[in-house]
Structure 1
């Protein structure tokens, strides 16, 4: 299920970030704390629909408050320390009196705060604060992610991937491409799916010809991996298993099924989603992180685009031939 894949990825990245913050803090390396504050500002806005901004933009070196949301009347302290003393210290600061109608949130970015949610706190200025719901940590945030609708969960996944995702691992990419090519090649495909000679038209003109907008960036980024895919196809084909024909025919068939289902961009991304589903459901699929899976599928579909197996091809402009 995509839900499980998205959740597992988010879970892994948030826990890894928390561990790094904790370790760096013990070494007195605090730069990651600052970057994490910015990360969580945007993350909480996406996850909860807040309109948080950094209070330091308007007030320098403010104690007890790091983020503020004037629309939803929230003030947030972001901390790598998760103790009762830390929370009470924030609640006792004089600046809290400036926000009598606001709600106070405490965000623990490196420690589990489950025990804090069970405690009672001194709140001398009487600001709205309920430990059960107003103390956040990785665990409580993941609970929120888990209960999101799949469309919303995917948005969170995309955000976390963009913020915390790793650089492309060439070794993993090589093995993952091989595995996925194997899986797709075993899919049934109609004998009447005639495979035409492979011609790769000039990429930018084909993008323009098909009026692709959102897919343009993906194609421009992953067309660089055409050589790697070609190498993998050649490896398999040299062993007598005609993987390139089978995989490209499979991708083309899915494109033809989706061809009239929406705009060119919608069709392009629909093909990617269908192929991803085929791989995940395959008995031959050995689970890999969702971002690695999506990377490989994206690369294969872009390669098929270059080879003119999907989308309309302009006449007279050949990218290359193979």
Structure 2
């Protein structure tokens, strides 16, 4: 699902940014803190429909305030220090006398701020500040992202990708999953899709056995590629005896983890697809294709793994190949 892909990408980038800010701060490298002021201004503008800009545009080095939105009467501080003392120190600054009627938001860019939302704060200038709503951290942001409409998630994904996509990307490695996707993507999958070797009755029996009736249409759409994928696996294995096995194992690993976490077989099935897509997108050897094509190819892999007994339980006497 696109929603899962967008959220996972945003989550990874923001968590990694917060980690880097925290670790670099320990050795007094603070360049990311400076750049983060404008980044988080734009991020919150997307999430909260604000018009925050860096206050340095108007006034240099204002203590206690980093961002301002004059249209919505909002001030914000962006900080890698996340303590009660830090927030109270900001609220006590004389600068707030110049912004009567403004709301104040505190943005923790590298540390969890959950405990801070339960405290009462000294607020001598009576700034509009509600800790439960106005203390924002990465967790708060991700919760908003998770519940955003898909079109806004996509806009945010594009923004994060442009800002953080290459500068703080994690180390990528080659994967056999990406290789087989590259192979499938280059094939004309509309040709010769008949698969006389598979026993549709047996596959339907396994679907019923695992309470997967809700995904039967998906199974039917992609099981027809069994024969073509079988050919590709055979070619693939000529390069190394464990190549196709490694693909089955990584798909099975996702299944084993998810079946312990999720309640329904339906959720497990589609979450396996999402997890496999994430692995491929993070692979160094993945040749980028339109997301819809990637999702289609991964559906083929996962349905095939289901047919071949690699994921989900088999009913007694299950035989997916016609003899």
Length-normalised TM-score, structure 1: 0.60
Residue 11 of structure 2 corresponds to residue 19 of structure 1: no
Cα deviation for residue 156 of structure 1 reads 0.9
Secondary structure (helix, strand or coil) at the match of 1:287 reads helix
1:205-242 CA-partner distances (Å, limit 9, x unpaired)? xxxxxxxxxxxxxxxxxxxxxxxxxxxx9xx79x7xxx
Residue 143 of structure 2 corresponds to residue 143 of structure 1: yes
Q: How many residues align?
A: 220
**2:6–2:154 contact (8 Å) kept in structure 1:** yes
Residue 42 of structure 2 corresponds to residue 42 of structure 1: yes
**1:80–1:108 contact (8 Å) kept in structure 2:** yes
1:93-112 CA-partner distances (Å, limit 9, x unpaired)? 00011111110000000110
Residue 289 of structure 2 corresponds to residue 288 of structure 1: no
Secondary structure (helix, strand or coil) at the match of 2:190 reads coil
Cα separation, partners in 2 of 1:157 and 1:124, compared to 1, 3 Å? same
Cα separation, partners in 2 of 1:295 and 1:44, compared to 1, 3 Å? farther
Residue in structure 2 matched with residue 181 of structure 1 by the alignment: 182
* Distance of 1:14 and 1:44 partners within structure 2: 13
Gaps of 5+ in 1: 193-232, 240-279, 302-322
1:6-36 CA-partner distances (Å, limit 9, x unpaired)? 1111111111111110111110111110111
Cα separation, partners in 2 of 1:291 and 1:155, compared to 1, 3 Å? farther
* Distance of 1:23 and 1:60 partners within structure 2: 27
Secondary structure (helix, strand or coil) at the match of 1:288 reads helix
1:67-126 CA-partner distances (Å, limit 9, x unpaired)? 000011100011110000000000000001111111000000011000001111011001
1:104-115 aligned within 5 A: 104-115=104-115
1:43-62 aligned within 5 A: 43-62=43-62
Secondary structure (helix, strand or coil) at the match of 2:61 reads coil
* Distance of 2:96 and 2:282 partners within structure 1: 45
**1:6–1:290 contact (8 Å) kept in structure 2:** no
Residue in structure 1 matched with residue 251 of structure 2 by the alignment: none
Residue in structure 2 matched with residue 156 of structure 1 by the alignment: 156
Residue in structure 2 matched with residue 273 of structure 1 by the alignment: none
Cα separation, partners in 2 of 1:99 and 1:169, compared to 1, 3 Å? closer
Cα deviation for residue 145 of structure 1 reads 0.3
* Distance of 1:85 and 1:282 partners within structure 2: 44
Cα separation, partners in 2 of 1:290 and 1:166, compared to 1, 3 Å? farther
Cα separation, partners in 2 of 1:2 and 1:118, compared to 1, 3 Å? same
Cα separation, partners in 2 of 1:108 and 1:35, compared to 1, 3 Å? same
* Distance of 1:7 and 1:300 partners within structure 2: 17
1:163-207 CA-partner distances (Å, limit 9, x unpaired)? 111379997578565221344478851469xxxxxxxxxxxxxxx
